[in-house]
A and B are shown apart, each in its own frame.
Chain A
Amino acid sequence: MNRLIRRKFGEVYRLKVPQRNFCANGAATNSAQPGYSQDSKIGHYDIAIVGGGMVGMAFACSLASMPLTKDLNVAIIDSNPALSSGVSIKKEEPPDPRVSTVTPATISIFKEIGAWKYIEQNRHAYFDKMQVWDYTGLGYTRYNARDANKEVLGCVVENRVLLSSLLSCLQSADFRKTIYPSRLLTLHRNSSSTKVDSHSSGLPLHGQGNLVKLDLIDGSSLHAKLVVGADGSKSRVRELAGIKTTGWNYSQNAIICTVEHAVENQCAWQRFLPAGPIALLPVGDNFSNIVWTMNPKEANDHKMMNGDEFIKDVNHALDYGFGPHPKSSMFGDGGIFSWLKADVTSASEFFEIPPKVIRLVSDRMMFPLSLMHANNYASKNIVLIGDSAHTVHPLAGQGVNLGFGDAFALSRVIAEGIAVGTDIGEVTMLKKFEVERKTANIAMMAILDGFQKAYSVDFGPLNILRAAAFHVAQHVSPLKRGIISYASGEQRLPLFS
């Protein structure tokens, strides 16, 4: 059936896919083997990246930046026309509501692979302060980058800026890549090796050839030693590889949009409300990004209501709505917690009220929140990175950082493998990546999920407990440093620093 469809597509779209010819050239040296002549028109690649989003492109850039991997022959499969034509970003346009908070760890790796300079040419917003508080008015925490001896806590960048920067980075690199403007239809493992078997001694060897054949919906096909699924939370690669997932929906929706202030916002704000957190992130100039988590009905109402009313609700939610401001000196001087302040730098920082929002400057987008984790990231010749392996609660903006972490870790593992002549589809090597990243990802997922659960219950004693937690976080400097470091992308849990 698939084959039928494929053939049909193949005929219809044959003329529209000029890349087919390029890829054949790229693999000419490899396809000269006997037994493969019938496939000579199909591109042979070292790596096929399915999904040219931020994580997939970061992976490609990372490969291009390392001497051991820069000669790999890579195919990128994505139907987004921007990959071929480039992303056009007009600076005078207000920021897109789809933004990411990148951590210092991500920033330093972006610098290493040479992509950060392109981000700096576009709109981006560093922030060195963060305030987290809750509606009960019982506690707050202010984080300052100085607490952890860092310059910034993070940087908010529009996703399209991230993508275009990675594209520019990849284009400037001397890297053999072929873009297939299509989507994945099916995967066949070792399809081309069966024929070799038949005239051999009949040993049931699997593993020879070590190739995966990818059929795309436009009828084109390619072979790759390694398929990297960077195709998001609804990953087709994951589905075809038969990798199961664990996860749940939060029955919460997030509304995202861009708003404007009268003054520049330089701090990341997050307030926990009865139905979920609202976050106000600086995105450059006088703009901020809003991520507001609510139950689906509220979310829908807030999406439909007129802009002015929405802004009124936002300001309400970030100020006196739902409860009072926390008192800065609640456990102040002379109090029982005062001894904790010995070497505190920012504990004395007072609670602040976020800058007022004056205008809504983008559409409001709504998406459901869920947590999903793939039971495996790697199988033979196939590996998952980014959202295809794990999606997290968008609290603290860690999702894409985990994805970037995957991308860089995988490229490093591949480089180490190439150094000792490893077949890059070999599962032992891919499992090394899986072990390394699973630990990091699950720890972060558990923390974010725990936060979500802790704040989805509005119950007196729990509220006080939460407030106490805020106070501990606010006043115990080593813990605070640990939290900042962890949120910055360092692979270390707060309590074990």
Chain B
Amino acid sequence: MAFKLPNQLRALYTATNYHHHHRILSPLAGASQSFVFSLRRLFADVPPLSDPSSAPPPLYPHSTKTSLAPSSLNQYELAKFAAIAETWWDSEGPFKPLHALNPTRLAFIRSTLCRHFRRDSYSAKPFEGLKFVDVGCGGGILSEPLARMGATVTGVDAVEKNIKIARLHAVWPFTNLSPIWIPQLQRLNIVAQQLLVEEQRTFDAVIALEVIEHVAEPAEFCKSLATLTVPGGATVISTINRSIRAYATAIIAAEYLLHWLPKGTHQWSSFLTPEELVLILQRASISVQEMAGFAYNPLTGRWSLSDDISVNFIAFGTKNSQ
């Protein structure tokens, strides 16, 4: 999620006074363990594609994984994006909370995948020789560390600018990182077919953090992920729970109390519970092996893994061998 939040936060900065919101954002990010996640949700959600008439028009279509069409990326938004792009990789900048969270998600990925692939957990590059795909890679905040850990990483994202940033940032010293633009993540299954058929590519691990809640059909999405995964390979997914706590932080606080977003933009009902995620992954022949939640300590400003999956959670599964 850390790698995606900027995507959505960008909207916040585009639409409103930068400093004003930055000031509000920081204390709140520290006040609630789920706030960062919630924020992402706030600015990420757009009406489902299937129901365009009843929903308000997407506020910041460029910022979502489910962009209606590339044409919605207008010049004005692109210019705004360029302005915020500079701070994407600034770990002391507006995205500081994200940079703080990233190591925690990577720690989960490292420990589960080292065990799964029987890699030495004391190695600096435990994933050497493994091929990963980072679905929804954003500016590459997750892809780059994975590449540093030795994996050959393909990053895919629906936002072209994200891919540009990821490419620019990763110029040196990466030889094992290649960001690819997929105009619409809805088409992931088609892209998956392309990658499979045209380039004969499958991946040892498919990682999609904070993406699934943006797609209209999570089950189809999971099938695409499964298609990309080699039998016996791993899948890592993180998202927000459809829980009362998530509802309280993401909708009540942010929409109704803080007015950061117009009421009703949030699609709480599109969140998945851990049980649902396990189920749809199972149907895609991925068995979930391990799950964890994220806890935020407001005193230290650090994130850690926890057993509490009531707000944000991350799951590791393996694709059944056929």
Most chain A beta carbons < 10 A, residue from B90, B92, B168 = B168
Q: Which secondary structure characterizes the binding site on chain B? A: helix
B91 in contact (CB, < 8 A): yes
List chain A residues, Cβ under 8 A from B144. 421, 423
Cα-based distance from A193 to B169 in the complex (angstroms) = 10
Nearest-CB residue, chain A, relative to B127: A421
B164 contacts A203, C-beta separation under 8 Å: yes
List chain B residues, Cβ under 8 A from A200. 164, 168
Cα-based distance from A205 to B140 in the complex (angstroms) = 14
A421 contacts B85, C-beta separation under 8 Å: no
B76 in contact (CB, < 8 A): no
- The stretch from A206-214, A256-264, A284-292, A297-305 touching chain B is A206-214
Cβ contact of B171, chosen from A33, A71, A201, cutoff 8 A:
A33
B148 contacts A423, C-beta separation under 8 Å: yes
Most chain A beta carbons < 10 A, residue from B107, B124, B175 = B124
A495 in contact (CB, < 8 A): no
List chain A residues, Cβ under 8 A from B90. 206-207
Cα-based distance from A35 to B173 in the complex (angstroms) = 11
Cα-based distance from A208 to B90 in the complex (angstroms) = 11
If A420-B106, A421-B146, A428-B96 touch, whether A33 touches B173 (CB-CB below 8 Å) is: yes
**Distance of A328 from chain B, by nearest CB (Å):** 47
Nearest-CB residue, chain A, relative to B121: A419
If A71-B124, A205-B89, A428-B92 touch, whether A33 touches B99 (CB-CB below 8 Å) is: no
List chain B residues, Cβ under 8 A from A422. 103, 145, 148
**Distance of A173 from chain B, by nearest CB (Å):** 15
A68 contacts B122, C-beta separation under 8 Å: yes
B110 in contact (CB, < 8 A): yes
List chain B residues, Cβ under 8 A from A196. 168, 171-172
Cβ contact of B172, chosen from A67, A208, A416, A426, cutoff 8 A:
A208
A427 in contact (CB, < 8 A): yes
Cβ contact of B169, chosen from A207, A420, A428, cutoff 8 A:
A207
B171 contacts A209, C-beta separation under 8 Å: yes
B168 contacts A420, C-beta separation under 8 Å: no
Cβ contact of B86, chosen from A203, A209, A418, A423, cutoff 8 A:
A203
B164 contacts A201, C-beta separation under 8 Å: yes
B306 in contact (CB, < 8 A): no
A193 contacts B89, C-beta separation under 8 Å: no
**Distance of A281 from chain B, by nearest CB (Å):** 39
A191 in contact (CB, < 8 A): no
B49 in contact (CB, < 8 A): no
A21 in contact (CB, < 8 A): no
B246 in contact (CB, < 8 A): no
**Distance of A205 from chain B, by nearest CB (Å):** 5
If A207-B90, A421-B144, A428-B91 touch, whether A69 touches B172 (CB-CB below 8 Å) is: no
B194 in contact (CB, < 8 A): no
A205 contacts B169, C-beta separation under 8 Å: yes
0/1 string, A388-430, CB within 8 A of B gives 1: 0000000000000000000000000000111111110011100
List chain B residues, Cβ under 8 A from A207. 89-90, 169
**Distance of A44 from chain B, by nearest CB (Å):** 8
**Distance of B105 from chain A, by nearest CB (Å):** 9
| Residues of chain A in range 166-217 having any CB-CB distance to chain B below 8 Å | 192-193, 196-197, 200-211
If A36-B172, A420-B107, A427-B92 touch, whether A205 touches B149 (CB-CB below 8 Å) is: no
**Distance of A23 from chain B, by nearest CB (Å):** 16
Cα-based distance from A44 to B173 in the complex (angstroms) = 10
List chain B residues, Cβ under 8 A from A44. 173
B309 in contact (CB, < 8 A): no
Cα-based distance from A240 to B166 in the complex (angstroms) = 30
| Residues of chain A in range 62-114 having any CB-CB distance to chain B below 8 Å | 67-69, 71-72
Cβ contact of A203, chosen from B85, B92, B123, cutoff 8 A:
B85
A30 in contact (CB, < 8 A): yes
**Distance of A238 from chain B, by nearest CB (Å):** 19
List chain B residues, Cβ under 8 A from A419. 107, 110
List chain A residues, Cβ under 8 A from B122. 67-68
List chain A residues, Cβ under 8 A from B107. 419-420
B82 in contact (CB, < 8 A): yes
Cα-based distance from A210 to B148 in the complex (angstroms) = 14
A428 contacts B100, C-beta separation under 8 Å: yes
Nearest-CB residue, chain A, relative to B123: A67
Nearest-CB residue, chain A, relative to B143: A421
If A68-B122, A205-B86 touch, whether A421 touches B148 (CB-CB below 8 Å) is: yes
A420 contacts B124, C-beta separation under 8 Å: no
Most chain A beta carbons < 10 A, residue from B169, B171, B175 = B171
Cα-based distance from A204 to B171 in the complex (angstroms) = 15
A30 contacts B168, C-beta separation under 8 Å: no
| Residues of chain B in range 122-174 having any CB-CB distance to chain A below 8 Å | 122-124, 144-149, 164-165, 168-173
11 contacts between A and B (CB under 8 A): A67-B123, A68-B124, A71-B124, A196-B168, A205-B85, A206-B90, A207-B90, A208-B171, A418-B148, A421-B147, A428-B92
The 7 A-B residue pairs with the shortest CB-CB distance, nearest first, are A421-B145, A420-B106, A67-B122, A421-B148, A428-B91, A207-B89, A421-B149
Residues of B within 8 A of A (CB): 82, 85-86, 89-92, 96, 99-100, 102-103, 106-107, 110, 122-124, 144-149, 164-165, 168-173, 175
